Amino acid sequence: MRVIVFGAHSAVGEFVISKLRDNGYRSCAVVGNENQIELLKKRGATDVVVYEESSLQSLFQGYDAAIFLTGISPKAQTGKTVMVDHQSVIDTVKEAERQGVERFVMMSPISANESVGDESREIGAKEMPDEFLRQSTLTYTVVQPGALNDKPGAGKISAAVTLESNTLEIPKEDLAEVLVSALDSESTFNKTFEVGEGDTAIQKALASI
């Protein structure tokens, strides 16, 4: 399988690229500027391209799947978290659909257990990328992670449509493993679910969703 990764220049994205290599996938890392190319090649990317809106219409050709990290705009110059660029997500989903991509895995802008009724967020705005993907013809997976931390990946998580804890966290490395493992995990097809730290091996946890 050939996988294209948007937001590959983020901390989670770098782990995603490494884990794609470790699992035998060919990958294309989409980055914000040329200074990030060498690092992503070292991480294991088969190809690295600098994001340009004009190239989006042909960017998916030859790729079977996409992983999109919504916390990082594909045109951002750094890997720092930014406000969700809704139009970039929508344009990317549209082109993936048009160009025949089969799988689309998205790291949701909505955190695990983030209530729709929470007045601290703009109701309707954060949901847009998720909902647009769900309404497409793509075989999608939407992963809503707990708060990201820098702990070493443990390879174990908790995963469910809704997790009960309100203080969920997850190592960036484990989140990356979830995103990559979801590509071939049929139990995650056309599903939206939450993930956090836990005691269940990632593959087993995904199989139970």
Q: Whole-model pTM? A: 0.89
Quick check: 43 and 18 in contact, CB under 8 A?
yes
Residue 86: the pLDDT is 76
Quick check: 197 and 169 in contact, CB under 8 A?
yes
Residue 121: the pLDDT is 46
Rg of the chain, C-alpha, whole Å = 16
113: left (phi over 0), alpha (psi -120 to 50) or beta: left
Beta strand pairing status for 200-201 and 147-149?
unpaired
Domains and CATH numbers, the chain: 2-207 (3.40.50.720)
| Crossing angle of helices 172-181 and 11-22, rounded to 10° | 50
- The token duo for 70 is 């919504």
Each residue's pLDDT expressed in tens, for the chain with a length of 209 residues: 999 999 999 999 999 999 999 999 999 999 988 999 999 999 999 999 998 878 888 999 999 999 999 765 455 555 444 445 678 888 999 999 999 999 999 999 888 877 544 544 444 456 678 899 999 999 999 999 999 999 999 999 999 999 987 789 999 999 999 999 999 999 999 999 999 999 999 999 999 99
